[in-house]
Chains A and B, each alone.
Chain A
């Protein structure tokens, strides 16, 4: 069965803060409801905790880190799931049930299966 990653783009907030406990409870509910297709996933700390890494000058070159996310956007990557679904329709229907789909957007991308990697 094909696998999909569902990338959740939302306001760049701290999900671990108490004020978001209600939303996190909703995610918990979603996780139980969609347990049959969820193969993994996590919520992420805000982009202020991100470090972006690049290597300059080819393999073994200088490791250059910058403080912050790869791209500064109004909505940020705030979490992700890995689904295993029958087809894109099931993946889209599942993504539509992620709480973040209501106040943000979910990007659904097929994952290259291991045998073709």
Chain B
């Protein structure tokens, strides 16, 4: 850690920025506990990280980077409180406790972070606000970066974050770990927020600002942190497994033109097998820890694992996939889950059976992928006119540009190329 190797070296500079950011969020959590004020803590930590990035390349990284950052941020916080007090002409309301003589034990830091997680993902905040706050405070992105990553103008994002911090302070949103009886509910909220963050990045395409796909990495990092903080929570294990298994396909999901490549057509050699292995192990652990009622994230990860472990698309163990979908329906019965199950039926039992299942799913008439699934199965059944109409219906609904281009291509193929041969299983 020591030494001034960072100077002039871009890679080392990036590592340094990473280190400062990783430690910065831990220091922020501690400062929130010390000051009880998220905005003040943020300002103080921001100042400390700027100083670190100035002085560490010059003087070398201190032996205890976190202690250095905490000390610097604490001093800055005291300065800010004094300045505030002088301006208001009264005694400062916030008091920072004196510096401890020994470094704080790891449990204290763990609890600091955990409290901050539950504050940022408090159900009294709108979900999109939770996502933005998590990126700002738990991932350490700047407001400008959060704005770019979430496709919101910076001024709007700044206002949203300021309002959120104001609500936390004024409405006294607690800074504490929920009690045992409320923990399952609150943890569900945290996991849903992090998964939303992951999906923001996962839905991004090659042409987007690179900060958007990088949200996947932020979400994975945040989930790893949750696992560290709450080891053995099935939903956290399931979320991490699901993220890793989905992300393992990162390099194969888009072709050179940025068009999405269907799971069936992906080059499986380009999947990241290390992530698959880690994900599969996590699925096993998640299942062992929720034997009575499987966690929905663990089950979704199990389905992703069936795909990840299949040597090729036709060799997918569709009966295993279907069984897992049945389990998923028993804990999370939604129309989208039913649609995905119907698609799996189409793969296992042929397009006729699949189509009947897809058409039995109601309530997705405004959902592009329902029409797309229908169109695909109709095309396989050589019911070309109906397939054409279904593709047109799918194209008329909201979706990302890559998906849109993909469907247009399928529609054009209908007219030029004859439908593919018999589907697997038929």
* A-B residue pair count with CB separations less than 8 angstroms: 24
Q: Is A2 an interface residue (CB 8 A)?
A: yes
Which of the segments B165-173, B219-227, B265-273, B414-422 contacts the partner chain? B165-173
A-B contact pairs, 24 of them (CB 8 A): A2-B171, A2-B172, A4-B171, A85-B172, A86-B172, A86-B174, A87-B172, A87-B173, A87-B174, A87-B176, A88-B122, A88-B124, A88-B171, A88-B172, A88-B173, A88-B174, A89-B173, A89-B174, A92-B124, A108-B171, A109-B171, A110-B170, A110-B171, A110-B172
Give the dominant DSSP class at A's interface.
Answer: mixed
A contact set with B: CB distance below 8 Å = 2, 4, 85-89, 92, 108-110
Task: Name which residue of chain A comes closest to B124, CB basis.
Answer: A88
A-binding residues in B (CB < 8 A): 122, 124, 170-174, 176
Bound-state CA distance A18–B170 (Å) is: 40
Chain A residues with Cβ below 8 Å from B174 are: 86-89
Distance in angstroms between the alpha carbons of A88 and B175 in the assembled complex: 10
CB distance from B95 to the nearest CB of A (A): 16
Residues of chain B contacted by A4 (CB below 8 angstroms)? 171
Chain B hits for A86, CB < 8 A: 172, 174
Q: Which residues of A contact B171 (CB under 8 A)?
A: 2, 4, 88, 108-110
**Whole-angstrom CA separation of A87 from B172 in the bound complex:** 5
CA of A89 to CA of B125 in the docked complex: distance in angstroms?
12
Chain A nearest Cβ from B166, distance in angstroms: 10
A106 CB to closest chain B CB (Å) equals: 13
Residue on A nearest B178 in the bound complex, by CB: A89
Known interface pairs A86-B172, A110-B170; 11 further A-B residue pairs with C-beta atoms within 8 A, sorted by A's residue number: A2-B171, A4-B171, A86-B174, A87-B172, A88-B122, A88-B171, A88-B173, A89-B173, A92-B124, A109-B171, A110-B172
Chain B nearest CB: distance from A72 CB in Å?
27
From residue A3, how far is it (CB to closest CB) to chain B in Å?
A: 10
Residues on the B chain within 8 Å of A110, using CB: 170-172
The distance in angstroms between the C-alpha atoms of A88 and B172, with both chains bound, is: 5
Kindly list chain A residues whose C-beta atoms are within 8 Å of the C-beta of B170. Answer: 110
Give complex CA distance A22, B75 in Å: 59
CB distance from B105 to the nearest CB of A (A): 26
Greatest chain A CB density within 10 A among B124, B172, B173, B174 is at B172
Q: Specify which of A4, A89, A92 lies most central, judged by the most chain B CB atoms within 10 Å of its CB.
A: A89
CA distance A86 to B124 in the complex (A): 16
Q: Which residue of A lies closest to B174 (CB)?
A: A87
B163 CB to nearest A CB, Å: 14
B69 to chain A, nearest CB (A): 28
Q: Which residues of A contact B122 (CB under 8 A)?
A: 88
| Chain A residue contacts of B124, Cβ below 8 A | 88, 92
Considering the complex, give the chain A residue whose CB is closest to the CB of B186.
A89
Q: How far is the CA of A59 from the CA of B282 in the complex (A)?
A: 68
Measured between beta carbons, the chain B residues less than 8 angstroms from A89 are: 173-174
